[in-house]
Amino acid sequence: MSAALEISKLQFSYTKPAHSCFTALDLKIEKGERFGLFGPNGAGKTTLMHCMTGLLSYTGGSIKIFGKELSQNLNELKKQL
């Protein structure tokens, strides 16, 4: 059974100003689990949520939702989200 959300080596950088937000983020959440994102302002919480919902394109790594790669199944997964 695949995880509800599996993020592997996620990378994201803003181009202006050049700022690396994630360099190798890993996260795995099983179906039925609850989780929270905590951190100070500017830590990347909203950026991560935007990457997970397809609002921002990540520069490396992968995001799988229910075993499907987000970048390859964006329209289908948006309907589920």
The mean pLDDT value of the chain amounts to 89
Which residue(s) pair with 25 in the sheet? Answer: 10
39-63 mean pLDDT: 91
* Whole-structure pTM value: 0.85
Kind plus residue range of the DSSP H or E element containing 51: helix 45-52
- Residue 2 to residue 14: CA distance in whole angstroms: 31
CB 41 within 8 A of CB 47: no
Structure tokens at 77: 């997964």
CB 62 within 8 A of CB 5: no
- Residue 13 to residue 53: CA distance in whole angstroms: 17
> What is the reported pLDDT for 30?
95
37-60 mean pLDDT: 91
- Domains of the chain with CATH codes: 5-80 (3.40.50.300)
Task: Tell me which of 2 and 12 has the higher pLDDT.
Answer: 12
